[in-house]
Amino acid sequence: MKQALYQKRLVHYRIQRQRERLVIALLLLIVLLQSIALYFRHERIIIHPPELTQHYWVEGNRFSPSYLQEMARYFCHLLLDVNPIQIKTQGEIALSYASPEAYGALKAQLLADEQRLRQQQASLHFAPKDIVLDMSQLTATVTGELHRYVGHKKIDSDLSTWQIAFLQRKGRLFIKSFEPVVTPSEKK
């Protein structure tokens, strides 16, 4: 009697063990598939800081157009909203975003601007009005009012256009160039 009961329980435990092995194998397969999917997937990080005007995302080596707009607006602020005291500090921040190829030219441009502002005892304020993006070339063309001041007196104001070329490396955005756009009427 006990022998038959033990045999019955043994068969039941073997069936239960086979079911558990099947479930374990299935779970291992699911984990393996999820690991493979995670390895080939780039996470999209959506960022919406309170001081910016719009949210943006960064996914692997791709950026949202709003990210380029915000970075273009930020770099225009760093490089064009300056006075003789702030230009060095803001320039160092901008240089930390410069690509190695553009670092020397951008630093020379900042030093020349600093010297010119100190000699003239002037300051600049740039108010961006329009930003046009070229996502294939990673460039932003920023048009706005450039105001020049000596002391507290506004001496000049004109419409100015600047082009910022970006370079993407390992999911990070660098400044490739920052130059004024010269229209054909200005060349004459």
- Three-state secondary structure string covering 12-79: HHHHHHHHHHHHHHHHHHHHHHHHHHHHCCCCEEEECCCCCCCCEEEECCEECHHHHHHHHHHHHHHH
Digits of tens for pLDDT over the chain (188 positions)? 788 888 888 899 999 999 999 999 999 999 999 988 888 877 666 665 545 666 677 777 778 888 888 889 989 999 999 998 889 999 999 999 999 999 999 999 999 999 998 998 899 999 999 999 998 889 999 999 999 998 888 898 999 999 999 998 877 889 999 999 875 445 44
69: nearest Cα among 158, 135, 126 = 135
5: nearest Cα among 13, 111, 34 = 13
Cα-Cα-Cα-Cα torsion 95, 51, 43, 59, nearest 10 degrees, comes to -50
For the entire predicted model, the pTM comes to 0.68
CB-CB contact of 148 with 156 (8 Å): yes
